[in-house]
Every structure is written in C-alpha cells, then in structure tokens.
C-alpha cells in the first residue's frame, strides 16, 4: 500500500506564477531605488523573470547567485529578505492560488489512509504563509523546508521525512528534476507534474507524468489495488 505522498510546493501545489512576477518586480524596483548605496551595483535592466523561470525550483540562495552574479553576498541576502516579505504579503492578500483540485485530492488521500507531507526548497516563513492561508494543515502532516538541512539537497530533505515518520512506501510529487531526483535517491516513486514550470527533458525521468492532480486518485488506487491482490 502506498503509505505516503510527499509533495513539492511551488509549481506543484501552489501556483507560484501568480505572485512570482509581481514579487520579483517589486524586489527589483526596490533595488533600483537603492543605487545610492556604495555597496550596491546599479540595477537598471528589466526584471529577470525569464531567467528565474529557467531555474525555478532551486533553493533561493542559488537563485540570487544566478540573478545577481556580480553583487555581494550582503546584497543578495538583503534581496532575499525583501523578496520573501513581498511573497508573503502577496500570499496573505490572496493574490496567489492553489492548483485545481488540491484540496479534493488531499481529502481523498486522507480518506484512504495516505499521509501527506510537503518538501520544498521554499523558506519556512513563505511555506507557512501558504499553509495558513489555505488551511492545508487540515490534511498535511508536516511541511518541511530546505532550511532544515545544511546541504540544500532535496533528496536529503525527503530522507529526513522518511526517517522521522518511518515511511516504507511513498511517492514524491513535483514538477522539477530536483523532485524526481529526490524520489529516486530514496527509492521512491517519482510523479512528475506537467504544470507551469515543468520541462519536458526533466519530466522524462519521472516514473509517471500527470497533467492534473486529480490523476493521483487513479494512480494511488491502482497501486493499492495491485498490492492487495
């Protein structure tokens, strides 16, 4: 029996796209107002939203290394803090959204004794804002942030969940290669989500690919029925 499902958050459960560009624009507009600071290289280009889309799914420290390659660690940290505040504010204002059928699928999983976890490269405060705003704790056993481990490796984060809850049979559900690799690194089934940020070459490495979260009901049912025969 499939004991647990471990979900990614961004691009899998939460439609990050709805607040990403808004928050990123806000952050880089703010950087443009800080050009008087000697420690800050002038930012006068457009907001690098396309570059962010390419690397979506990696931990935020690596995001700022890519988007602000010539800036100091201090400026990247400052930018990270500002971006986080903007994201959380937009979540609390209701400008984001879950993907269709999240709560229906969660209810189905709980009714069928399948525990639910979230493993995300997002920061704790950001994840908590989403969980709180959409009352996900009604279904989710625990939400894990990449901040909880030193390596910033999602496979290690998933391993933390497995050990804590003594999980034997599970699947990782996510839209990016880091999710697929996290499943494979731990001997779990990898379910790729063909959603906004997904890339075909990455999804090709998943065990199964879905276009809608509702497909998880069939997948879980088929696995459990085959194991019970």
Sketch out the chain's domains with CATH numbers.
Answer: 4-15+97-228 (3.40.50.1000), 17-92 (no CATH)
151 or 39, which is more confident: 151
Give the residue from 78, 69, 87 showing the smallest Cα distance to 37.
78
The mean pLDDT value for 83-105 works out to: 96
DSSP of 166-195, one letter per residue? Answer: T--SEEEEESSHHHHHHHHHTT-EEEEE-S
pLDDT above 90: percentage of residues in the chain: 70
How far the first Cα of the chain sits from its last, in Å, is: 11
CB 90 within 8 A of CB 23: yes
Confidence check: pLDDT of 38 > 70: no
Confidence check: pLDDT of 39 > 80: no
Residues 124-181: tens digit of each pLDDT: 999 999 999 999 999 999 999 999 998 889 999 999 999 999 999 999 999 999 999 9
Model confidence, pTM: 0.89
Residue 39 CA to residue 60 CA, distance in Å, equals 21
Confidence check: pLDDT of 226 > 80: no
What's the mean per-residue pLDDT of the chain?
91
Residue 163, phi then psi, degrees to nearest 5: -70, -45
Q: Work out the number of other CB atoms within 10 angstroms of the CB of residue 105.
A: 24
Confidence check: pLDDT of 109 > 60: yes
Q: Which two tokens stand for residue 221?
A: 């049912």
Residue-level pLDDT at 37: 53
The 3-state DSSP class for residue 229 equals: coil
Name the burial class of residue 138, with classes exposed (0-12), middle (13-18) and buried (19+) by CB atoms within 10 angstroms of its CB. exposed
Give the residue from 104, 121, 97 showing the smallest Cα distance to 175.
121
Among 81-90, 99-108, 176-185, 216-225, name the one with the lowest average pLDDT.
Answer: 216-225
Query: Which residue has 């990455």 as its token pair?
Result: 202
Residue-level pLDDT at 36: 56
Residue-level pLDDT at 58: 79
Q: C-alpha 48: how far from its chain's center?
A: 20
Confidence check: pLDDT of 14 > 70: yes
CB 203 within 8 A of CB 140: no
Confidence check: pLDDT of 44 > 50: yes
Residue-level pLDDT at 227: 59
């Amino acid at each position: 029996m499939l004991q647990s499902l471990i979900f990614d958050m961004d691009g899998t459960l939460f439609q990050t796209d709805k607040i990403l560009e808004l928050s990123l624009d806000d952050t880089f507009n703010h950087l443009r107002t800080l050009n008087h600071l000697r420690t800050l290289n002038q930012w006068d280009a457009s907001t690098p939203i396309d570059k962010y889309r390419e690397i979506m799914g990696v931990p935020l420290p690596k995001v700022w290394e890519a988007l602000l390659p010539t800036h100091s660690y201090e400026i990247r940290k400052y930018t990270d803090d500002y971006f986080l505040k903007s994201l959380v504010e937009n979540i609390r204002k209701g400008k984001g959204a879950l993907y269709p059928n999240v709560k229906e699928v969660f209810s189905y999983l709980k009714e069928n004794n399948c525990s639910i976890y979230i493993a995300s490269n997002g920061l704790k405060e950001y994840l908590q804002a989403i969980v709180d705003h959409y009352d996900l704790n009604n279904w989710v056993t625990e939400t894990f942030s990449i901040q909880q481990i030193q390596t910033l490796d999602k496979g290690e984060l998933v391993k933390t969940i497995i050990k804590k809850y003594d999980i034997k049979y599970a699947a990782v559900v996510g839209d990016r290669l880091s999710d697929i690799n996290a499943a494979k690194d731990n001997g779990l089934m990898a379910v790729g989500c063909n959603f906004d940020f997904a890339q075909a070459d990455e999804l090709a490495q998943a065990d199964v690919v879905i276009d809608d979260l509702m497909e998880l009901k069939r997948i879980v049912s088929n696995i459990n029925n085959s194991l019970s025969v």
